[in-house]
Structure 1
Amino acid sequence: MAASSTVTLCTRLDFCYCVNSDYRDAIDANVARVRGLIAGHKAQGKAIGYLSVPLSPAGGGSFAVNAEIAAATASSVTARLGAQSAWILNPGAEGGDRMNGAGGADFMYMWTQILEGRNGAGEDFDFFYFAGPSDFASFFKLTGQGDLERLEAWFDARAAQDPSFMTAVDNGSITRAGFRNYYGLRASVAFSYGSHDDWNIARAINARRRGAADFGIANQLAIFFDGHPVTPGSYEEPTAAGDAGRCVK
């Protein structure tokens, strides 16, 4: 899809993104679809979560591998909490069929609207789960002994078995050293553009909840990082913006 124009679009909580106007209808459709999906799980009495996880290959990773890790992490969190009692929204699985070719800002404009909810208090959600190093280590079965070497071996095995992965290696999209260093040293939301925005969205929602009579401190969204609840002060700390930002003309 060729980009026709970009436009600055802002959400209820004033997160602004430079969005490709070609995707506006697809974004609106997927927002409605995912809200319906969430409503179905809420009607079953489930706690609703959102998985923040790197999907882009930026930094040396692989989109396909990241999507697999996102699915594995979503399954792990669901198993931990109980499938009958909790459901977690995996952005790697619910991005929408019509968003092929979209950029990070397009996706984040979509996810921000879903996370904020119709009233801007994140009322459809109960918790955020931010993927960390332990989640990635679990996927690769790292043991804490020779982890970078294990990743090199994993890379070699994947290249030998997966033609599309080997094609990416051949054209330089993925390198052995880059893959090893990303997943061994940096694989975490700390190095993700979109996850930085996710953190700031969660912070903004909780700030609104703390000041609302019908929510308050006791009813903030729970936030987990790398499998553990974050400290109280972290609920109020912002991070650098990722894809958020107005179009520069």
Structure 2
Amino acid sequence: MNGLVKAYRRAQRSAAVPALVLAGTILLLNPAPARAASSPVTLCTALDICYCVNPDYRDAITANVARVRKLIADNRAQGKAIGYLSVPLSPAGGGAYLVNSDMAKATAEHVGKRFGARTVYLLNPGEEGSAAMQGASGADYMYMWTQILEGERGLGEDFDFFYFSGPTDFARYFELTGTADLERLEAWFDDKIATNPKYKDAIANGSLTKAGFRNYYGLRASVAFSYGSHDEWNIARLINDRRRGAADFGIANQLAVLFDGQPVSPGGYETPTASGDVGRCIK
């Protein structure tokens, strides 16, 4: 800082120094104050589901909602059934984001093969999030996905089914056989995680461990342990509740719901679960 002060004083004494140099020196000595973080606001959707959202992401959310709706419409125009993949992406609980993201892609491909790629499109939130949403919270993302899922009429009219990933989907990804699965996951960690530089910092600071990885993917890997997936389950339930009471839908035209590759029971369509990221801002 002393060097900058001296430079500024020399500039003042020299008539040959351009005004721009003086101005630049002044800016260095008196930098503009950092932009204050925006205060979160409560935003609600057509289904009256509310989230505590960072308003800095509102434009990015609006743009991505429009983009994804067009993507869905383009696939619908090809005669495809439209589904939504609910999958844990956060590393919460002992997992790893990159693993979850890759598993989501593999599950979407599996569902496409199961039903036929020509006849189905499964929206994978891990692939269709906006790059402009970097740093956003779970609530910010869920405010975006809720708008996409509920549709303009709040009846989920852009979709035909929900696919909630479960233990079988994760077991397929890790190629577990039902014999010594936890040991296989430890070996998977040693082979693909421990030596991977992408995980170096997480392992060094203890946020990713072999035991945590093994226990999460062997015992808990499922939407049952995901905040966002809990909200998505409740969104599906609310949409179907509205469809059951709508003259142009009714019970016969509810959105199909699958968990772990299997259709849920009739009661499952009407059963809520604990909220995840849903909630108004607390002042």
Tell me the TM-score normalized by structure 2.
Answer: 0.86
Q: Which has the larger radius of gyration?
A: 2
The letter of the residue matching 1:22 is: D
Partner of residue 109, structure 1: 143
Higher relative contact order (CA 8 A, sep 6+): 1
Aligned ranges 1:93-108 → 2 under 5 Å = 93-108=127-142
Partner of residue 123, structure 1: 157
Q: Secondary structure at the match of 1:8?
A: strand
The letter of the residue matching 2:191 is: A
Structure 2 residue 182 is matched with structure 1 residue 143: no
Q: Secondary structure at the match of 1:92?
A: helix
Gapped runs of 5+ residues in structure 2?
1-34
Q: Supply the distance in 2 between the matched residues of 1:159 and 1:81 (Cα, whole angstroms).
A: 32
Partner of residue 230, structure 2: 196
Partner of residue 176, structure 1: 210
Shift of 1:158: 1.3
Shift of 1:173: 2.2
The letter of the residue matching 1:191 is: F
Q: Supply the distance in 1 between the matched residues of 2:255 and 2:89 (Cα, whole angstroms).
A: 23
Partner of residue 105, structure 2: 71
Match of 1:22 among 40, 43, 56: 56
**Does the C-alpha gap of structure 1 residues 149 and 19 become closer, same or farther in structure 2, counting only changes over 3 Å?**
same
The letter of the residue matching 2:148 is: I
Gapped runs of 5+ residues in structure 1?
none
Q: Supply the distance in 1 between the matched residues of 2:163 and 2:193 (Cα, whole angstroms).
A: 31
Shift of 1:2: 7.3
Tell me the TM-score normalized by structure 1.
Answer: 0.98
Aligned ranges 1:24-43 → 2 under 5 Å = 24-43=58-77
Q: Supply the distance in 1 between the matched residues of 2:119 and 2:198 (Cα, whole angstroms).
A: 37
Q: Supply the distance in 1 between the matched residues of 2:264 and 2:79 (Cα, whole angstroms).
A: 25
- Tell me the matched-pair count: 249
User: Cα RMSD over matched residues?
Assistant: 1.1
Partner of residue 212, structure 1: 246
Q: Secondary structure at the match of 1:93?
A: helix
Q: Supply the distance in 1 between the matched residues of 2:220 and 2:206 (Cα, whole angstroms).
A: 20
